[in-house]
Amino acid sequence: MNVVKRVTGSCGVLLIAALLLAACSPGTRPEATSLPPAVTSPPATGQADESVDLEAAFAERDQFFADQMQPLDGSPLTAQTDEQQAFILSEKEFVESNGLAWSQEAETMYLALALDACEASILQGHEITAELFMLHLATSPLFAALVPDEVVGEQRRTGERNSAAKMVAGVSYLCKADLPQWLDAYNRVYPPAAPGEEPLGG
């Protein structure tokens, strides 16, 4: 969607990297409290649904973006709907509680992450698997901007995991019906790494 392509050019990578690489340590499950508890996730199927009616999916996608009331001309994104406002308030409070400053660039990027994920759900016929989750991260210009090539090793995995957690948090507000599959895919790709660590949404 054009909103994603245009957003990546307007966000400061250094600022967003500070939010996503420094806000959570590698041993901490990021943003777990931003998600509804005890969500039952369906098993991942491993394949995209090839029977998706693309014409209907595009129509649903267009209606979704119309309902979100966000500009498509490259302007900064600001929370418009009640769900968007609740999502941004939660993220703003989390960021500031970690001693970091919130910004318009952060609001734009967080909204874009959520909108992009919801669009992916629609175009995949609301069937998100771990494989599609990884493909989404690997091909998204948003993730390329948030975690550039020079970030490597454990820091890169932490940045990707934290960015993905914020994306899933956004799904829990903007397209909540798709949340179980995103949670299932996230926890398959990023399972708990330490004893006693809860899965995202657990």
Look at 81 and 45; give whichever has higher pLDDT: 81
Range of the domain at 172: 2-22+57-189
- pLDDT score for 131: 96
> pLDDT tens digits for 138-185?
999 999 988 888 888 988 888 899 999 999 999 999 999 999 999 999
Query: Residues 87, 110: contact at Cβ < 8 Å?
Result: yes
Classify residue 108 by burial, with Cβ atoms within 10 Å: 0-12, 13-18, 19+.
Answer: buried
| Rg of the chain in Å (alpha carbons) | 16
Q: Quickly state the pLDDT bin for 52 (edges 50, 70, 90).
A: confident
Lowest mean pLDDT among 13-27, 51-65, 131-145: 13-27
- pLDDT score for 74: 81
Q: Quickly state the pLDDT bin for 42 (edges 50, 70, 90).
A: very low
Query: Residues 31, 200: contact at Cβ < 8 Å?
Result: yes
- What's the longest Cα–Cα distance across the chain? 47
How far apart CA 87 and CA 158 sit, in angstroms, is: 22
In a domain, 99, yes or no: yes
- pLDDT score for 40: 34
In a domain, 30, yes or no: no
Residue type, 160: E
How far apart CA 67 and CA 64 sit, in angstroms, is: 5
Give the pair of three-digit tokens for residue 184: 């299932």
How far apart CA 26 and CA 32 sit, in angstroms, is: 14
Look at 74 and 19; give whichever has higher pLDDT: 74
Whether pLDDT at 43 is above 60? no
In a domain, 37, yes or no: no
In a domain, 48, yes or no: no
In a domain, 97, yes or no: yes
Helices (H) and strands (E) in the chain, counts: 9, 0
Give the pair of three-digit tokens for residue 5: 């392509």
> pLDDT tens digits for 77-126?
999 999 999 999 999 999 999 899 999 999 999 999 999 999 999 999 99
Taking alpha carbons only, the member of 122, 113, 41, 121 closest to residue 84 is 113
Number of other residues whose CB lies within 10 A of the CB of residue 106: 23
Whether pLDDT at 45 is above 70? no
DSSP letter, residue 197? P
Give the pair of three-digit tokens for residue 135: 């493909």
- pLDDT score for 13: 43
Look at 148 and 67; give whichever has higher pLDDT: 67
How far apart CA 148 and CA 20 sit, in angstroms, is: 12
In a domain, 39, yes or no: no
Q: How many domains would you assign to the chain? A: 1
How far apart CA 97 and CA 184 sit, in angstroms, is: 28
- pLDDT score for 23: 45
